[in-house]
Structure 1
Amino acid sequence: MTDTPFEYGAYEEGRHVNYWRLDPALRAEAQRVYPPDEFAWAKSRLDEFGELVGDTIADNADVVDDNGPELHTYDRDGHVQNVVEYHPAQYENDRLTYESGIVADAFDPPAGRKEPLGLVHTLTMQLILSYVDTGFVCPVSMTAGAALVLRNHDTDGELDDYFESLTSRSHESLIEGAMFLTEKQGGSDVGAVETVAEPVETESADGDQSTEPLPADTDGGAVQTRTYELTGEKWFCSNIDAEGTLALARRPGAPDGTAGLSLFLVPNRTRDGELNDQLYRRLKDKLGTISVPTGEVEFDGAEAYLVGEPERGFKYMTTMLNWERITNAVGAVGIVGRALLESKIKAANRDAFGNPVQEHPLMKRDLFEMTVEYEAALAFSMEAGKWLDRYERDHDDDEAYRLMRTLTPIAKYRTARMAVDTASYAMEIQGGNGYVADFVTHRLYRDAQVLPIWEGTSNILALDLLRTFEREAAHERLFPYIDSLLSSVEHPLFDDLVDAVTDELESLKRALATLAEADDEYAQHEAKRLADYVFDVVTASLLLSNARRELDASNDARKAVVAQWFVEQTLGDSRGRSITDGEALPLQYFDAVVRHASLDADAF
């Protein structure tokens, strides 16, 4: 926090700045969710990365958006080569980003530490990177996700060479990850996967030939063969040329549905250096996220290596899905953060009717609301990331697992839609320039549109939330968790707000009990409303807890204003649309909330 409000008018645009330093809310949330010793080490690294992203990587991202990757499926003689050509600016961004430790730090101790950092560190760096290129965050995220899957499920170490390359600190030895789930006939219905996996003939110790893969040994032994040939089509393949691609396929005789799926690693080139038997048919002509090549892949006996035990592929892939959904959320938050920054700068610099736009009451309210919404999305997404990080540190932590499973689909669902709406309004604040490709809001809006689609649509996510309550009894951890947040807020300044959230918590409990007794059709009908309700109650509790912490630390009531506005606007009495109450917090506390000036609690 700063005693002096930020002078956003000092900037021409949200470029050639340090995004870490310009985002006090992000710094505070990172400090809250990192283990203390890790944050003490990481904060200087995050500061360096914020500077790098705001300068060189941001400039390169604009170049790449105009010069996206090109696919050369065939060479001049008509032979398949499956080459994706990138602009040199993308290669530079790759090198700068990966060698900053965005993936490696979470799996390998960086210099000066004995232990790796948690996945919260990777998420925070990805959020900063999303300020300039959410498309590029996709391969970065999938590289970390593929490494996480191999660390958790490649129990016999057969794929250690791929894990080491996915987590390399050197750009020259690094490989990227990918996840090919979608098939044309299935879409979100993963159980409809038609790709088949045939075992490759292997030679036993006595010289006998065998093509029969054995099921997983009940005593924990390995299957007889781990090499297969995949045949089938994958329809929406982001980071198409990755060497660490994970794909689902069905072995001969495996049951239908997700229960019959196995997980395989499919490289671009096999271990003997030969081009794999697959065809990159074409790249999609996408609206946004130009920096990541997304296309169609046809497996034609492609060499693939079984990950873990057969017929457990969908379970293994959920490790990556949970990770990707949270990274989708922090990516959305990064877009909101950049859109907000561009809006603040424009409103401070643009005059209308004799005054800067930010001085007009309607714009004060708009920027105030955008700031509160950003901090709400930030708090919820970082909280979801915290619980995933805790679970990945200790898979026996039942509280971490159930809270991660509850918060993850909600975070992805709410922040994705928020990014689209905020990017759209940021274009409006820019005026006509916001609709022109020369200005970054144009790209923010195009990139944001994929976020509600990636890693599960809003309906799929809402149904996943229902499953966490029905099958995993997630409410048994959720409600005590919310109670603990509210109990930490005891202070006269917050009594009315805590009472309002407590009342809503009781209503949420009744709503969940109603759905538990209802038939499936009604429960599904109300699933998204339930997700919204959980988001609002949890976020209100988090913001109040943050406000109390800041009040205790510095007697600063800025976050108290943020919490009050969120609670009143989302959970409060809306009779008269609040027009009749005569209150105008955005006019009273604009500098404190929008420009991050400190606010003495005695003045609140």
Structure 2
Amino acid sequence: MGFLQDAPQLSHPYRDDRLLIALLDRVFPSKRRIALDADLDALADYAQMAFERNSRSTRRKPVLTQWDAWGRRVDRVELTRAWQEGPQLTTRHAILASGHENHEHARLEEFARAYVYHVASEFYTCPLAMTDGAATALKVSGNPSLIDRALPHFLSRDAHNLWLSGQWMIENHGGSDIGNTETTAKQDKDGQWRLYGRKWFSSAVVGEAALALARPEGAGQGAAALALFYVETMDGANRMPQLIIDRLKDKLGTHELPTAEIHLDGLPAWPLGELAHGVRQVAPMLNITRTWNAIGAVASMARAISLARDYALRRQAFGRLLIEQPLHAQTLADMQAEFEAAFALAFEVAHLLGRVEQNQATLQETASLRLLTPLAKLWTGKMAVSLCSEALECFGGAGYIEDTGLPQLLRDAQVYAIWEGTTNVLSLDSLRALTGHDSFAALRMVITGWLSKSHNTQASFAVHAALDATATHLDTRKVERNVLEAGARGIATTLARCAAAALMARQATWSSSRGDERPAAALRRFLGHDLLRLSDINGEDTRLLLE
């Protein structure tokens, strides 16, 4: 028989992940490490098993059955095998519950578990993210009856007791501009609130609960008049009849995740708090889900690089292994450096979130989290698409063949730049934080603190030079709001890269003291790619190009 090519093999997603192990070695308390290691080992074992299982079978999609054989409306969704296994894995390894424990490393524990599990979960982590966000929003609301009702289910360590929560915000007019929300909330004669309307993009429709934006009857127009409501979707084993699933979305990627168009015809609902300012009540939820998004993005990057590196050790071309080809090795090293930067920023946001929630953070760290969360989400989301695309190229034609399972990496990665706010939406959100508060000064102080734990003068000089340039850019354009907004992507990306470089420098110093020079090499490579991404905006050119 002629030429046969070995398929790439997946290295152990925990024991072979030097970045995650080094991070935990540096910051995680040893007394809690044994239990965490056991969970991460088990989740990584599952990830390897799922990878091998998927390589032997065709990936499936969820199936919606709207009517039973006798004409009854059932709206039953048949889930994939990985989704059926999700509740047991989630509760057995405390993926959600660990994030709500009362210590400053709780979020780091949670997101380490989520990172190892994510790709194997087939985006079961999407409803986990929304459930986590719903639990956080409920706690912030201070609504005792809803907290007592839902939180024990959302954070359960028993699969039979676990509830998932959806997030129902987007309607037919689409996207992030939710001020035109048409779903209405009406009180019946018994005082029960009920929701009426249509939600156009509802992930986790298979969950048992959701948080939904609606306009109370008689309220004014605009986003400020919206209220946030808690709903339950199941009546025992049956779906609530007032919740109708119109169809499942046919998406570019995340095929295993059932995303639905639904309409609500009097679904019972309970307000979280005041019957207004619902968008403000959603904010704690978005901070959580955006962090999940960033962790998912770096998990997808980790998978793509792991497979590309393994393949480079198996594939021979022109008489040598790919790993021995100078240009291919250079490409992999560049990918690795960018990935390590994204990893550092995403996990710092996760760790900082836990410190802020437990009142362990400084005032500057707390202010910085407001800015770092959208920065991490938008930057890692864009990078995941670019890096997964590059990884597929490393496989040549095999990267374009569905049977290899590789194209799914790129299709799935595209969602990170869209969910929970697109790159433009989050760039403008970051700009508001920069121009409306002292967030830039706080972020600079925090970054300086990270650099103070490093002995790398090259990194310190490069980061401060880029921050100086950003400060000048912001200061000279204060009166040119349109120009400032047009360049918001470049500002956000520059700040994300500055923060990541400082974090890499801190980790490199710690690792070097223990004889590991690889993080320092990644830092040098990342700095060589430059930190500045500021843009000189020419409005006239923009107008001409769009005519």
* TM superposition score normalised by structure 2: 0.90
Aligned to 1:22: 16
RMSD: 2.5
Q: Give the superposition deviation at 1:65.
A: 6.7
Q: 1:538 Cα deviation (Å)? A: 1.2
Deviation of the 1:304 alpha carbon: 1.1
Q: Which moved more, 1:465-474 or 1:59-68?
A: 59-68
Secondary structure, aligned partner of 2:71 = coil
**Closer, same or farther in 2 for the Cα pair 1:526/1:424, shift >3 Å?**
same
**Which residue of 282, 285, 290 corresponds with 2:255?**
290
Q: Following the alignment from structure 1 to structure 2, what is the Cα–Cα distance between the partners of residues 64 and 151?
A: 42
Question: Judging changes above 3 Å, is the alpha-carbon distance between structure 1 residues 160 and 276 closer, same or farther for their aligned structure 2 residues?
Answer: farther
CA contact (8 A) 1:186 1:192 kept: no
Aligned to 2:481: 520
Matches within 5 A, 1:282-431: 282-394=247-359, 398-431=363-396
1:481-496 superposed matches below 5 A: 481-490=446-455, 494-496=456-458
Check if 1:67 corresponds to 2:60.
yes
**Does the 8 Å CA contact 1:166/1:244 hold for their aligned counterparts?**
no
Structure 2 CA distance for partners of 1:116 and 1:545, relative to 1, 3 Å: closer
1:480 to 438, 445, 453: 445
Q: Confirm or deny: 8 A CA contact 1:64 1:290 kept in the other structure.
A: no
Change (3 A) 1:397 1:541: closer
Aligned CA distance change for structure 1 residues 413 and 174 (closer, same or farther; 3 Å): same
- Structure 1 residue 89: Cα displacement: 4.5
CA 158–428 in structure 1, closer or farther in 2 if over 3 Å, else same: closer
In the alignment, structure 2 segments of 5+ residues that lack a partner are 1-5, 534-547
C-alpha contact (below 8 Å) 2:297/2:381 kept by paired residues: yes
What's the secondary structure of 1:300's corresponding residue? strand
- Residue 88 of structure 1 and its aligned partner are, at CA, apart by 4.1
- What amino acid is aligned across from residue 509 of structure 2 in structure 1? R
Given that residues 265 and 306 in structure 1 are in contact (C-alpha distance below 8 angstroms), is that contact kept between their aligned partners in structure 2?
yes
The answer for the alignment partner of 2:519 in structure 1 is 559
Give the distance between the partners of 2:305 and 2:105, measured in 1 at CA.
Answer: 29
C-alpha contact 1:197 1:249 (8 A) present in aligned 2: yes
Quick check: 2:245–2:260 contact (8 Å CA) kept in 1?
Answer: yes
Distance 2:243 2:137 in 1: 23
| Structure 1 position 144, deviation (Å) | 1.7
Alpha carbons of structure 1 residues 528 and 65: separation in structure 2 relative to 1, 3 Å: farther
Does residue 78 (structure 1) correspond to residue 42 (structure 2)? The answer is no
Report if the CA contact (8 A) 2:75-2:239 is conserved: no
Letter in 2 for 1:245: A
Contact 2:248 2:258 in 1 (8 A): yes
CA contact (8 A) 1:348 1:356 kept: yes
* C-alpha distance after superposition, 1:367-390 (max 9, x if no partner): 111111110100011111122222
Shift of 1:201: 3.3
Contact 1:181 1:248 (8 Å CA) reproduced: yes
Contact 1:340 1:426 in 2 (8 A): yes
Name the CA shift for 1:471/1:571 in 2 (closer, same or farther; >3 Å). closer
- Distance apart, 1:480 and its partner CA: 0.8
**1-structure distance, mates of 2:52, 2:137:** 33
Q: How many residues align?
A: 528
- Which residue pairs with 2:168 in the alignment? 180
Could you say what secondary structure the match of 1:570 adopts?
coil
Hey, what does 1:455 align to over in structure 2? Answer: 420
Partner of 2:96: 103
Distance 1:404 1:265, change over 3 A: same
Give the % identical residues.
Answer: 31
Question: Could you list the per-position Cα deviations for residues 349-398 of structure 1 after superposition, in whole angstroms to 9, with x for gaps in the alignment?
Answer: 11111111110100110111111111010001111112222222239964
C-alpha distance in 2, partners of 1:82/1:430? 41
- Look up the equivalent residue of 2:458 and give its one-letter code: D
Residue type of the alignment partner of 1:187: G
| Residues 458, 64 of structure 1: alpha-carbon distance in 2 compared, 3 angstrom cutoff | farther
Match of 1:500 in 2: 462
Would the aligned equivalents of 1:197 and 1:251 in 2 still touch at CA under 8 Å?
A: yes
2:116 is paired with a residue of what secondary structure?
helix
CA gap 1:533/1:359 in 2 versus in 1, 3 angstroms:
same
The one-character-per-residue Cα deviations of 1:36-55 (angstroms, maximum 9, x if unpaired) are 65446423322222222222
Partner of 1:587: none
Whether 1:266 aligns to 2:231 is yes
Q: Contact between 1:165 and 1:175, CA under 8 Å: does it hold in 2?
A: yes
User: In the alignment, is residue 13 of structure 1 matched against residue 34 of structure 2?
Assistant: no
| Aligned match for 1:199, one of 187, 201, 223 | 187
CA 1:469–1:258 in structure 2 vs 1: closer, same or farther (change >3 Å)?
same
SS of equivalent residue, structure 1 residue 157: helix
Going from structure 1 to structure 2, the CA distance change for 1:413 and 1:467 (only over 3 Å counts) comes to same
Map of 2:42 onto structure 1: 48
CA distance in 2, matches of 1:452, 1:572: 21
Residue 216 (structure 1) aligns with: none
Work out the CA distance in 2 between the residues paired with 1:32 and 1:469.
31
Q: Which residue of 2 aligns with 1:205?
A: none
Q: Residues 33 and 72 (structure 1 numbering): CA distance in 2 closer, same or farther, change over 3 Å?
A: farther
**Aligned CA distance change for structure 1 residues 532 and 453 (closer, same or farther; 3 Å):** same
Larger displacement relative to structure 2 (257-266 or 501-510): 501-510
Give TM-score scaled by structure 1 length: 0.82
**CA distance 1:253–1:94, change in 2 (3 Å):** same
Structure 1 residues 137 and 364 mapped into 2: Cα distance closer, same or farther (>3 Å)?
same
> What amino acid maps onto 2:19 in structure 1?
A
Match of 2:543 in 1: none
Q: Provide the C-alpha distance between the structure 2 equivalents of 1:314 and 1:71, rounded to a whole number of angstroms.
A: 31
8 Å contact kept, 2:231–2:268: yes
1:24-43 Cα deviation digits (max 9, x unpaired): 01222244454565446423
- The amino acid of 2:471's aligned partner reads K
TM-aligned CA distance change 1:400 to 1:74, over 3 Å: farther
Matches within 5 A, 1:228-239: 228-239=193-204
- After superposition, the Cα gap between the structure-2 partners of 1:150 and 1:37, relative to the gap in structure 1 and judged at 3 Å, is farther
Task: Give me the whole-angstrom Cα distance separating, in 1, the residues matched to 2:143 and 2:327.
Answer: 58
> Structure 2: how far apart are the matches of 1:153 and 1:36?
34
Pick closer, same or farther for the CA change 1:32–1:264 going to 2, 3 Å: farther
- Residue 415 of structure 1, CA deviation: 1.0
What is the rounded CA distance, in whole Å, between the counterparts of 1:141 and 1:335 in structure 2?
A: 16
CA distance in 2, matches of 1:320, 1:334: 21
- SS of the residue aligned with 1:158? helix
Listed one character per residue, the Cα deviations across residues 506-552 of structure 1 (whole Å, up to 9, x for unaligned) are: 2222223234x233211111110100110121111111111111223
Letter in 1 for 2:385: V
Instruction: Please tell me the residue identity of whatever aligns with 1:46.
Output: L
8 Å contact kept, 2:352–2:361: no
- Using a 3 Å threshold, how does the CA distance of structure 1 residues 256 and 341 change in structure 2: closer, same or farther? same
Where does residue 596 of structure 1 map in the other structure? none
Alpha-carbon separation, structure 2, partners of 1:439 and 1:273: 38
CA separation of 1:335/1:141 partners in 2, compared to 1, >3 Å: closer, same or farther? same
Alignment of 1:532-571 (within 5 A): 532-552=493-513, 554-571=514-531
Distance 2:141 2:360 in 1: 12
Q: Distance in 2 between matches of 1:267 and 1:535?
A: 38
